[in-house]
A and B are shown apart, each in its own frame.
Chain A
Protein backbone atom coordinates (compact mmCIF):
# COMPACT_ATOMS: atom_id res chain seq x y z
CA UNK A 1 0.00 0.00 0.00
CA UNK A 2 2.71 2.47 0.98
CA UNK A 3 4.49 1.68 -2.24
CA UNK A 4 1.31 2.42 -4.18
CA UNK A 5 1.21 5.80 -2.48
CA UNK A 6 4.80 6.41 -3.54
CA UNK A 7 4.04 5.46 -7.12
CA UNK A 8 0.89 7.55 -7.15
CA UNK A 9 2.61 10.66 -5.90
CA UNK A 10 5.44 9.97 -8.29
CA UNK A 11 3.14 9.66 -11.29
CA UNK A 12 1.33 12.87 -10.42
CA UNK A 13 4.41 14.92 -9.67
CA UNK A 14 7.04 13.74 -12.11
CA UNK A 15 5.06 12.64 -15.13
CA UNK A 16 2.80 15.68 -15.12
CA UNK A 17 4.24 17.46 -18.16
CA UNK A 18 3.64 16.63 -21.80
CA UNK A 19 5.96 15.39 -24.50
CA UNK A 20 7.37 17.77 -27.09
CA UNK A 21 5.42 17.64 -30.34
CA UNK A 22 6.49 14.61 -32.34
CA UNK A 23 9.51 14.03 -30.08
CA UNK A 24 10.25 11.66 -27.29
CA UNK A 25 10.17 12.27 -23.58
CA UNK A 26 12.54 10.11 -21.56
CA UNK A 27 12.07 9.82 -17.83
CA UNK A 28 15.37 9.06 -16.11
CA UNK A 29 15.39 8.06 -12.44
CA UNK A 30 18.92 8.80 -11.28
CA UNK A 31 20.71 8.56 -7.94
CA UNK A 32 21.05 11.84 -6.03
CA UNK A 33 24.84 11.75 -6.44
CA UNK A 34 24.35 12.00 -10.22
CA UNK A 35 22.44 15.31 -9.89
CA UNK A 36 25.05 17.53 -11.55
CA UNK A 37 26.58 15.14 -14.06
CA UNK A 38 23.19 13.97 -15.35
CA UNK A 39 22.10 17.58 -15.62
CA UNK A 40 25.00 18.05 -18.06
CA UNK A 41 24.24 14.67 -19.65
CA UNK A 42 20.66 15.82 -20.29
CA UNK A 43 21.77 19.00 -22.03
CA UNK A 44 24.32 17.19 -24.22
CA UNK A 45 21.87 14.41 -25.12
CA UNK A 46 19.14 16.84 -26.07
CA UNK A 47 21.58 18.72 -28.28
CA UNK A 48 22.59 15.49 -30.00
CA UNK A 49 18.97 14.34 -30.34
CA UNK A 50 16.76 17.32 -31.19
CA UNK A 51 13.13 16.73 -30.28
CA UNK A 52 14.06 14.58 -27.31
CA UNK A 53 13.28 15.76 -23.81
CA UNK A 54 15.02 14.13 -20.87
CA UNK A 55 13.27 14.52 -17.52
CA UNK A 56 15.36 13.74 -14.44
CA UNK A 57 13.84 12.22 -11.31
CA UNK A 58 16.57 12.52 -8.69
CA UNK A 59 16.45 10.83 -5.27
CA UNK A 60 18.25 8.25 -3.19
CA UNK A 61 18.75 5.03 -5.19
CA UNK A 62 16.62 3.00 -2.78
CA UNK A 63 13.69 5.43 -3.06
CA UNK A 64 13.92 5.24 -6.86
CA UNK A 65 14.05 1.44 -6.65
CA UNK A 66 10.83 1.39 -4.61
CA UNK A 67 9.09 3.64 -7.16
CA UNK A 68 10.14 1.38 -10.05
CA UNK A 69 9.19 -1.83 -8.24
CA UNK A 70 5.75 -0.35 -7.73
CA UNK A 71 5.41 0.23 -11.45
CA UNK A 72 6.24 3.91 -11.84
CA UNK A 73 6.42 4.69 -15.60
CA UNK A 74 10.19 5.19 -15.68
CA UNK A 75 12.30 4.76 -18.83
CA UNK A 76 15.82 4.60 -17.40
CA UNK A 77 17.19 3.79 -13.94
CA UNK A 78 20.70 4.83 -12.89
CA UNK A 79 21.64 3.44 -9.49
CA UNK A 80 24.58 4.39 -7.26
CA UNK A 81 25.31 0.76 -6.45
CA UNK A 82 24.87 -2.71 -7.82
CA UNK A 83 22.56 -3.94 -5.06
CA UNK A 84 19.58 -1.71 -5.93
CA UNK A 85 19.92 -2.53 -9.63
CA UNK A 86 20.06 -6.24 -8.83
CA UNK A 87 16.80 -5.98 -6.90
CA UNK A 88 15.10 -4.20 -9.79
CA UNK A 89 16.45 -6.80 -12.25
CA UNK A 90 15.36 -9.66 -9.96
CA UNK A 91 11.81 -8.31 -10.11
CA UNK A 92 11.95 -8.50 -13.93
CA UNK A 93 11.72 -4.74 -14.21
CA UNK A 94 14.83 -4.39 -16.40
CA UNK A 95 14.85 -4.54 -20.20
CA UNK A 96 18.09 -6.23 -21.33
CA UNK A 97 21.18 -6.21 -19.13
CA UNK A 98 22.18 -3.45 -16.69
CA UNK A 99 25.50 -1.83 -17.63
CA UNK A 100 28.29 -0.54 -15.41
CA UNK A 101 28.91 3.06 -16.48
CA UNK A 102 30.90 4.83 -13.77
CA UNK A 103 32.81 4.49 -10.53
CA UNK A 104 33.01 6.89 -7.65
CA UNK A 105 34.97 6.90 -4.43
CA UNK A 106 34.13 8.14 -0.99
CA UNK A 107 35.73 11.13 0.63
CA UNK A 108 35.34 12.86 3.97
CA UNK A 109 33.70 16.23 3.38
CA UNK A 110 34.38 19.06 5.82
CA UNK A 111 33.34 22.73 5.72
CA UNK A 112 35.97 24.79 3.89
CA UNK A 113 39.00 25.43 6.06
CA UNK A 114 38.21 22.30 8.11
CA UNK A 115 37.32 24.17 11.35
CA UNK A 116 37.12 20.98 13.41
CA UNK A 117 40.55 19.79 12.23
CA UNK A 118 39.38 16.44 10.84
CA UNK A 119 42.22 14.24 9.62
CA UNK A 120 40.67 10.85 8.84
CA UNK A 121 38.10 8.18 9.57
CA UNK A 122 39.27 7.91 13.21
CA UNK A 123 37.66 11.31 13.89
CA UNK A 124 34.25 9.73 13.27
CA UNK A 125 34.51 8.07 16.68
CA UNK A 126 34.71 11.46 18.43
CA UNK A 127 31.48 12.09 20.27
CA UNK A 128 32.02 15.86 20.67
CA UNK A 129 31.91 16.44 16.91
CA UNK A 130 28.77 16.72 14.78
CA UNK A 131 29.04 13.97 12.21
CA UNK A 132 26.73 12.79 9.45
CA UNK A 133 26.32 9.79 7.18
CA UNK A 134 23.78 8.85 4.53
CA UNK A 135 21.08 6.51 5.81
CA UNK A 136 22.29 2.88 5.72
CA UNK A 137 19.83 1.98 2.94
CA UNK A 138 21.18 4.62 0.59
CA UNK A 139 24.33 3.47 -1.26
CA UNK A 140 26.53 6.27 0.09
CA UNK A 141 25.48 5.27 3.61
CA UNK A 142 26.09 1.57 3.05
CA UNK A 143 29.53 2.26 1.58
CA UNK A 144 30.44 4.67 4.35
CA UNK A 145 29.53 2.08 6.99
CA UNK A 146 31.60 -0.50 5.17
CA UNK A 147 34.56 1.87 4.99
CA UNK A 148 34.26 2.68 8.70
CA UNK A 149 34.02 -1.00 9.55
CA UNK A 150 37.08 -1.75 7.40
CA UNK A 151 38.93 0.98 9.28
CA UNK A 152 37.77 -0.46 12.61
CA UNK A 153 35.94 2.74 13.59
CA UNK A 154 32.63 2.78 15.48
CA UNK A 155 31.15 6.12 14.42
CA UNK A 156 29.38 8.56 16.77
CA UNK A 157 26.83 9.62 14.15
CA UNK A 158 24.57 12.63 14.76
CA UNK A 159 22.36 12.30 11.71
CA UNK A 160 21.54 9.78 8.98
CA UNK A 161 20.42 11.88 6.00
CA UNK A 162 18.00 10.50 3.40
CA UNK A 163 20.32 11.22 0.46
CA UNK A 164 23.83 12.40 -0.25
CA UNK A 165 22.81 15.91 -1.34
CA UNK A 166 20.95 16.59 1.90
CA UNK A 167 24.05 15.44 3.77
CA UNK A 168 26.39 17.61 1.68
CA UNK A 169 24.22 20.68 2.28
CA UNK A 170 24.63 20.31 6.03
CA UNK A 171 28.40 20.26 5.62
CA UNK A 172 28.23 23.31 3.33
CA UNK A 173 26.25 25.28 5.91
CA UNK A 174 28.78 24.31 8.58
CA UNK A 175 26.21 22.51 10.69
CA UNK A 176 28.14 19.25 10.43
CA UNK A 177 31.86 19.02 11.20
CA UNK A 178 32.29 16.13 8.80
CA UNK A 179 30.38 13.68 6.64
CA UNK A 180 31.23 10.85 4.28
CA UNK A 181 30.10 11.59 0.73
CA UNK A 182 31.34 10.88 -2.79
CA UNK A 183 34.42 12.62 -4.15
CA UNK A 184 32.24 13.99 -6.95
CA UNK A 185 29.95 15.69 -4.44
CA UNK A 186 32.90 17.43 -2.82
CA UNK A 187 33.95 18.60 -6.28
CA UNK A 188 30.43 19.88 -7.05
CA UNK A 189 30.30 21.98 -3.88
CA UNK A 190 33.03 24.22 -5.28
CA UNK A 191 35.04 25.90 -2.55
CA UNK A 192 32.44 25.49 0.17
CA UNK A 193 33.53 21.99 1.10
CA UNK A 194 36.99 20.42 1.40
CA UNK A 195 37.56 16.73 0.69
CA UNK A 196 39.84 14.36 2.58
CA UNK A 197 40.82 11.13 0.82
CA UNK A 198 40.31 7.78 2.50
CA UNK A 199 43.19 5.30 2.64
CA UNK A 200 43.28 2.66 -0.14
CA UNK A 201 42.93 -0.07 2.47
CA UNK A 202 39.27 0.71 3.31
CA UNK A 203 38.18 0.09 -0.32
CA UNK A 204 35.53 2.79 -0.45
CA UNK A 205 34.49 2.62 -4.08
CA UNK A 206 31.10 2.28 -5.65
CA UNK A 207 29.79 1.23 -9.03
CA UNK A 208 27.09 3.04 -10.96
CA UNK A 209 24.73 0.89 -13.03
CA UNK A 210 22.26 1.95 -15.68
CA UNK A 211 19.43 0.06 -17.38
CA UNK A 212 16.36 0.51 -19.52
CA UNK A 213 13.27 -0.31 -17.47
CA UNK A 214 10.90 -3.02 -18.69
CA UNK A 215 7.71 -1.58 -20.23
CA UNK A 216 9.44 1.78 -20.54
CA UNK A 217 6.89 4.20 -22.03
CA UNK A 218 9.61 5.42 -24.42
CA UNK A 219 11.74 2.33 -25.00
CA UNK A 220 13.67 3.61 -28.02
CA UNK A 221 14.40 6.92 -26.38
CA UNK A 222 15.50 5.10 -23.24
CA UNK A 223 17.89 2.89 -25.25
CA UNK A 224 19.30 5.98 -27.00
CA UNK A 225 19.92 7.70 -23.65
CA UNK A 226 21.66 4.66 -22.14
CA UNK A 227 23.83 4.30 -25.27
CA UNK A 228 24.72 7.98 -25.00
CA UNK A 229 25.80 7.64 -21.36
CA UNK A 230 28.00 4.67 -22.35
CA UNK A 231 29.44 6.44 -25.44
CA UNK A 232 32.70 8.38 -25.57
CA UNK A 233 30.78 11.65 -25.28
CA UNK A 234 29.02 10.38 -22.16
CA UNK A 235 32.27 9.12 -20.63
CA UNK A 236 33.87 12.48 -21.23
CA UNK A 237 31.08 14.21 -19.30
CA UNK A 238 31.35 11.70 -16.45
CA UNK A 239 35.11 12.18 -16.23
CA UNK A 240 34.77 15.96 -16.18
CA UNK A 241 32.60 15.64 -13.07
CA UNK A 242 35.15 13.51 -11.25
CA UNK A 243 33.74 10.04 -12.00
CA UNK A 244 35.94 7.22 -13.18
CA UNK A 245 34.66 5.31 -16.19
CA UNK A 246 35.11 1.57 -16.80
Chain B
Protein backbone atom coordinates (compact mmCIF):
# COMPACT_ATOMS: atom_id res chain seq x y z
CA UNK B 1 0.00 0.00 0.00
CA UNK B 2 1.42 3.35 -0.88
CA UNK B 3 1.72 6.00 1.78
CA UNK B 4 -0.87 8.05 -0.03
CA UNK B 5 -3.52 5.35 0.28
CA UNK B 6 -2.91 4.63 3.93
CA UNK B 7 -5.63 6.02 6.19
CA UNK B 8 -4.43 8.79 8.55
CA UNK B 9 -3.39 7.20 11.84
CA UNK B 10 -5.13 9.80 14.02
CA UNK B 11 -8.42 9.20 12.25
CA UNK B 12 -8.01 5.46 12.63
CA UNK B 13 -7.38 5.74 16.36
CA UNK B 14 -10.48 7.86 16.87
CA UNK B 15 -12.56 5.44 14.81
CA UNK B 16 -11.32 2.50 16.86
CA UNK B 17 -12.13 4.38 20.07
CA UNK B 18 -15.66 4.86 18.78
CA UNK B 19 -15.87 1.19 17.86
CA UNK B 20 -14.61 0.14 21.30
CA UNK B 21 -17.61 1.82 22.90
CA UNK B 22 -19.85 -0.67 21.07
CA UNK B 23 -17.57 -3.68 21.01
CA UNK B 24 -16.37 -3.81 24.63
CA UNK B 25 -19.83 -4.20 26.23
CA UNK B 26 -20.65 -6.92 23.72
CA UNK B 27 -17.46 -8.82 24.56
CA UNK B 28 -18.19 -8.37 28.26
CA UNK B 29 -21.66 -9.82 27.70
CA UNK B 30 -20.18 -12.86 25.97
CA UNK B 31 -17.68 -13.36 28.82
CA UNK B 32 -20.42 -13.06 31.42
CA UNK B 33 -22.78 -15.48 29.63
CA UNK B 34 -23.40 -18.72 31.55
CA UNK B 35 -23.02 -20.86 28.44
CA UNK B 36 -23.60 -24.16 30.26
CA UNK B 37 -27.00 -23.11 31.60
CA UNK B 38 -27.97 -21.24 28.47
CA UNK B 39 -30.18 -23.94 26.87
CA UNK B 40 -32.17 -24.35 30.08
CA UNK B 41 -32.50 -20.59 30.56
CA UNK B 42 -33.68 -20.10 26.99
CA UNK B 43 -36.33 -22.78 27.35
CA UNK B 44 -38.04 -21.03 30.27
CA UNK B 45 -41.59 -19.67 29.91
CA UNK B 46 -40.46 -16.13 30.68
CA UNK B 47 -38.04 -16.08 27.76
CA UNK B 48 -40.50 -17.70 25.33
CA UNK B 49 -43.29 -15.30 26.30
CA UNK B 50 -41.04 -12.24 26.12
CA UNK B 51 -39.64 -13.30 22.77
CA UNK B 52 -43.11 -13.84 21.33
CA UNK B 53 -44.40 -10.52 22.67
CA UNK B 54 -41.38 -8.61 21.40
CA UNK B 55 -41.82 -10.16 17.95
CA UNK B 56 -45.53 -9.32 17.88
CA UNK B 57 -45.05 -5.76 19.15
CA UNK B 58 -42.07 -4.84 16.99
CA UNK B 59 -43.52 -6.28 13.78
CA UNK B 60 -46.94 -4.71 14.45
CA UNK B 61 -45.33 -1.33 15.09
CA UNK B 62 -43.38 -1.62 11.85
CA UNK B 63 -46.51 -2.50 9.86
CA UNK B 64 -48.51 0.34 11.40
CA UNK B 65 -45.62 2.71 10.70
CA UNK B 66 -45.56 1.54 7.06
CA UNK B 67 -49.30 2.12 6.63
CA UNK B 68 -49.57 5.55 8.27
CA UNK B 69 -45.94 6.71 8.50
CA UNK B 70 -45.14 6.69 4.78
CA UNK B 71 -48.22 8.81 3.91
CA UNK B 72 -47.28 11.13 6.78
CA UNK B 73 -43.76 11.50 5.36
CA UNK B 74 -45.28 12.22 1.94
CA UNK B 75 -47.56 14.88 3.49
CA UNK B 76 -44.60 16.58 5.17
CA UNK B 77 -42.39 16.43 2.07
CA UNK B 78 -44.86 17.26 -0.69
CA UNK B 79 -47.79 19.25 0.63
CA UNK B 80 -47.35 22.87 1.63
CA UNK B 81 -49.58 23.84 4.51
CA UNK B 82 -49.42 26.40 7.29
CA UNK B 83 -47.72 25.09 10.43
CA UNK B 84 -45.82 22.37 8.59
CA UNK B 85 -42.65 23.04 10.59
CA UNK B 86 -44.62 22.59 13.79
CA UNK B 87 -46.17 19.35 12.58
CA UNK B 88 -42.74 18.05 11.63
CA UNK B 89 -41.48 18.91 15.12
CA UNK B 90 -44.43 17.06 16.62
CA UNK B 91 -43.62 13.95 14.60
CA UNK B 92 -39.98 14.06 15.67
CA UNK B 93 -40.76 14.70 19.34
CA UNK B 94 -40.67 11.00 20.37
CA UNK B 95 -37.04 10.88 19.19
CA UNK B 96 -36.07 13.48 21.77
CA UNK B 97 -38.55 12.85 24.57
CA UNK B 98 -37.42 10.41 27.28
CA UNK B 99 -39.51 7.27 26.56
CA UNK B 100 -40.79 7.28 30.15
CA UNK B 101 -42.28 10.72 29.51
CA UNK B 102 -43.76 9.37 26.28
CA UNK B 103 -45.37 6.55 28.26
CA UNK B 104 -46.77 8.98 30.83
CA UNK B 105 -48.19 11.24 28.13
CA UNK B 106 -49.80 8.22 26.47
CA UNK B 107 -51.31 7.31 29.84
CA UNK B 108 -52.80 10.80 30.16
CA UNK B 109 -54.26 10.55 26.67
CA UNK B 110 -55.16 6.89 26.30
CA UNK B 111 -55.43 5.71 29.92
CA UNK B 112 -58.81 4.80 31.36
CA UNK B 113 -59.41 8.37 32.50
CA UNK B 114 -57.50 9.95 29.62
CA UNK B 115 -59.16 12.26 27.12
CA UNK B 116 -59.29 9.65 24.38
CA UNK B 117 -58.96 6.52 26.51
CA UNK B 118 -62.20 7.13 28.38
CA UNK B 119 -64.19 7.55 25.15
CA UNK B 120 -62.46 4.50 23.68
CA UNK B 121 -63.44 2.32 26.63
CA UNK B 122 -67.06 3.53 26.54
CA UNK B 123 -67.34 2.95 22.81
CA UNK B 124 -65.49 -0.34 22.41
CA UNK B 125 -64.72 -1.68 25.87
CA UNK B 126 -61.04 -1.68 24.93
CA UNK B 127 -58.60 -0.63 27.67
CA UNK B 128 -55.11 -0.02 26.30
CA UNK B 129 -52.94 0.09 29.46
CA UNK B 130 -51.92 -3.36 30.70
CA UNK B 131 -52.79 -4.97 27.36
CA UNK B 132 -50.72 -6.10 24.38
CA UNK B 133 -52.49 -3.40 22.34
CA UNK B 134 -51.01 -0.89 24.78
CA UNK B 135 -47.53 -2.29 24.13
CA UNK B 136 -48.04 -1.90 20.38
CA UNK B 137 -49.23 1.71 20.81
CA UNK B 138 -46.27 2.61 23.06
CA UNK B 139 -43.74 0.97 20.79
CA UNK B 140 -45.22 2.55 17.64
CA UNK B 141 -45.18 5.97 19.29
CA UNK B 142 -41.47 5.73 20.01
CA UNK B 143 -40.32 4.01 16.80
CA UNK B 144 -42.37 5.47 13.93
CA UNK B 145 -40.48 8.77 13.72
CA UNK B 146 -37.49 6.85 12.34
CA UNK B 147 -39.51 5.82 9.29
CA UNK B 148 -41.06 9.26 8.78
CA UNK B 149 -37.70 11.04 8.95
CA UNK B 150 -36.02 8.64 6.54
CA UNK B 151 -38.80 8.62 3.96
CA UNK B 152 -39.39 12.36 4.13
CA UNK B 153 -35.71 12.95 3.46
CA UNK B 154 -35.79 10.60 0.47
CA UNK B 155 -38.87 12.30 -0.99
CA UNK B 156 -37.28 15.71 -0.66
CA UNK B 157 -34.10 14.59 -2.40
CA UNK B 158 -35.99 12.93 -5.23
CA UNK B 159 -35.48 14.57 -8.62
CA UNK B 160 -38.98 15.83 -9.45
CA UNK B 161 -38.20 15.74 -13.19
CA UNK B 162 -38.78 11.96 -13.31
CA UNK B 163 -42.26 12.33 -11.90
CA UNK B 164 -42.86 15.29 -14.20
CA UNK B 165 -41.81 13.27 -17.22
CA UNK B 166 -44.12 10.41 -16.29
CA UNK B 167 -47.02 12.80 -15.87
CA UNK B 168 -46.26 14.40 -19.25
CA UNK B 169 -46.46 10.95 -20.81
CA UNK B 170 -49.99 10.64 -19.52
CA UNK B 171 -49.57 8.67 -16.29
CA UNK B 172 -52.17 9.39 -13.62
CA UNK B 173 -50.98 10.78 -10.26
CA UNK B 174 -51.54 7.40 -8.63
CA UNK B 175 -49.59 5.62 -11.38
CA UNK B 176 -46.71 8.08 -10.98
CA UNK B 177 -46.66 7.45 -7.26
CA UNK B 178 -46.76 3.68 -7.71
CA UNK B 179 -44.50 3.24 -10.74
CA UNK B 180 -42.02 6.12 -10.40
CA UNK B 181 -41.90 7.70 -6.94
CA UNK B 182 -42.15 4.61 -4.80
CA UNK B 183 -39.55 2.48 -6.63
CA UNK B 184 -37.10 5.37 -6.36
CA UNK B 185 -37.53 5.89 -2.62
CA UNK B 186 -37.85 2.15 -1.80
CA UNK B 187 -34.30 1.79 -0.43
CA UNK B 188 -34.99 4.58 2.06
CA UNK B 189 -38.38 3.12 2.97
CA UNK B 190 -36.71 -0.23 3.60
CA UNK B 191 -33.98 1.38 5.70
CA UNK B 192 -36.59 3.33 7.66
CA UNK B 193 -38.61 0.18 8.28
CA UNK B 194 -35.56 -1.66 9.61
CA UNK B 195 -34.66 1.23 11.92
CA UNK B 196 -38.24 1.41 13.12
CA UNK B 197 -38.30 -2.30 13.82
CA UNK B 198 -34.96 -2.16 15.64
CA UNK B 199 -36.07 0.74 17.85
CA UNK B 200 -39.38 -1.01 18.52
CA UNK B 201 -37.60 -4.19 19.60
CA UNK B 202 -35.51 -2.31 22.15
CA UNK B 203 -38.29 -0.09 23.52
CA UNK B 204 -38.50 -0.10 27.32
CA UNK B 205 -39.51 3.15 29.04
CA UNK B 206 -42.74 3.96 27.24
CA UNK B 207 -43.84 0.34 27.38
CA UNK B 208 -43.41 -0.17 31.13
CA UNK B 209 -44.93 3.24 31.90
CA UNK B 210 -47.94 2.95 29.62
CA UNK B 211 -48.57 -0.79 29.32
CA UNK B 212 -47.20 -2.07 32.62
CA UNK B 213 -45.31 -5.29 33.14
CA UNK B 214 -46.94 -8.72 33.12
CA UNK B 215 -45.51 -11.89 31.67
CA UNK B 216 -47.21 -13.05 28.49
CA UNK B 217 -49.21 -9.86 27.99
CA UNK B 218 -47.00 -6.78 28.22
CA UNK B 219 -43.58 -8.06 29.31
CA UNK B 220 -41.38 -7.68 26.21
CA UNK B 221 -37.71 -8.71 26.13
CA UNK B 222 -36.36 -5.40 27.47
CA UNK B 223 -38.84 -5.50 30.38
CA UNK B 224 -37.94 -9.12 31.11
CA UNK B 225 -34.25 -8.15 31.19
CA UNK B 226 -34.99 -5.29 33.57
CA UNK B 227 -36.94 -7.51 35.96
CA UNK B 228 -34.43 -10.36 35.76
CA UNK B 229 -31.54 -7.99 36.47
CA UNK B 230 -32.74 -7.67 40.08
CA UNK B 231 -33.58 -11.31 40.68
CA UNK B 232 -31.94 -13.77 38.29
CA UNK B 233 -28.87 -12.25 36.74
CA UNK B 234 -28.06 -15.30 34.59
CA UNK B 235 -31.50 -15.05 33.02
CA UNK B 236 -30.93 -11.35 32.41
CA UNK B 237 -27.68 -12.12 30.62
CA UNK B 238 -29.32 -14.86 28.55
CA UNK B 239 -32.15 -12.52 27.54
CA UNK B 240 -29.70 -9.79 26.63
CA UNK B 241 -27.78 -12.26 24.52
CA UNK B 242 -30.95 -13.16 22.61
CA UNK B 243 -31.68 -9.50 21.94
CA UNK B 244 -28.14 -8.92 20.70
CA UNK B 245 -28.18 -12.04 18.51
CA UNK B 246 -31.57 -11.33 16.95
CA UNK B 247 -30.90 -7.65 16.33
CA UNK B 248 -27.40 -8.15 14.99
CA UNK B 249 -28.51 -10.94 12.64
CA UNK B 250 -31.39 -8.96 11.24
CA UNK B 251 -29.38 -5.76 10.85
CA UNK B 252 -26.40 -7.46 9.19
CA UNK B 253 -28.40 -9.75 6.91
CA UNK B 254 -30.80 -7.04 5.78
CA UNK B 255 -27.96 -4.61 5.19
CA UNK B 256 -26.31 -7.11 2.86
CA UNK B 257 -29.50 -8.12 1.11
CA UNK B 258 -31.55 -5.10 0.28
CA UNK B 259 -30.95 -1.84 1.99
CA UNK B 260 -27.91 0.22 1.30
CA UNK B 261 -29.33 3.65 1.88
CA UNK B 262 -27.99 4.05 5.38
Binding site for B on A (CB under 8 A): 1-6, 60, 62-63, 66, 130, 132, 135-138, 157-162, 166, 170, 173-176
* Contact partners of B32 in chain A: CB under 8 A: 1-2
Q: Within the complex, which residue of B111, B213, B230, B236 is in contact with A63, where a contact is CB–CB below 8 Å?
A: B230
Task: Give the contacting residue for A2; candidates B208, B213, B240; CB below 8 A.
Answer: B240
A135 touching B107 by the CB < 8 A rule? no
**Cβ of A130: which chain B residues have Cβ within 8 Å of it?**
112, 127, 129-130
Residues in chain A near residue B233, CB distance under 8 A: 2-3
Contact residues in B for A2 (Cβ distance below 8 Å): 32, 229, 233, 236-237, 240
A157: chain B residues within 8 A (beta carbon): 214
The reply to whether A159 and B218 form a contact with Cβ atoms under 8 Å apart is: yes
B positions within 8 Å CB-CB of A: 25, 28-29, 31-32, 107-108, 111-113, 127, 129-130, 208-209, 212-214, 217-218, 226-227, 229-231, 233, 236-237, 240
Contacts of A1 in B (CB 8 A): 25, 28-29, 31-32, 237
Nearest CB of chain A from residue B222's CB, rounded to whole Å: 12
Assuming A1-B28, A1-B32, A173-B111, is B213 touching A136 (CB within 8 A)? no
Additional pairs, 7, CB under 8 Å, beyond known A60-B230, A137-B230:
A2-B240, A4-B28, A130-B129, A135-B230, A159-B214, A161-B212, A162-B213
Chain B residues near A4 (CB, 8 Å)? Answer: 28
| A66–B229 CB distance below 8 A | yes
B227 CB, min distance to chain A CBs, angstroms = 6
CA–CA, A137 to B108, complex, Å?
A: 28
Which residues of the other chain, A, contact B229 by a CB distance below 8 angstroms?
2, 6, 66
Q: How far is the CA of A52 from the CA of B205 in the complex (A)?
A: 34
CB distance from A29 to the nearest CB of B (A): 14
A132 to B208, CA, bound (A): 13
Q: Which 8 interchain pairs have the tightest Cβ spacing?
A: A159-B212, A1-B28, A174-B113, A1-B32, A158-B130, A62-B230, A137-B231, A137-B230
B230 contacts which of A66, A132, A175 (Cβ < 8 Å)?
A66
Min CB gap B194→A, angstroms: 26
Task: With A66-B230, A137-B231 as known contacts, state yes or no: A173 contacts B107, CB within 8 Å.
Answer: yes
Q: Would you call A137 and B212 a contact (CB within 8 A)?
A: no
Contact of A162 among B31, B218, B226 (CB under 8 A): B226
List 15 A-B pairs, Cβ < 8 Å. Answer: A1-B28, A1-B237, A3-B233, A4-B28, A60-B230, A63-B230, A130-B130, A135-B213, A136-B231, A161-B208, A173-B107, A174-B111, A174-B112, A175-B111, A175-B112
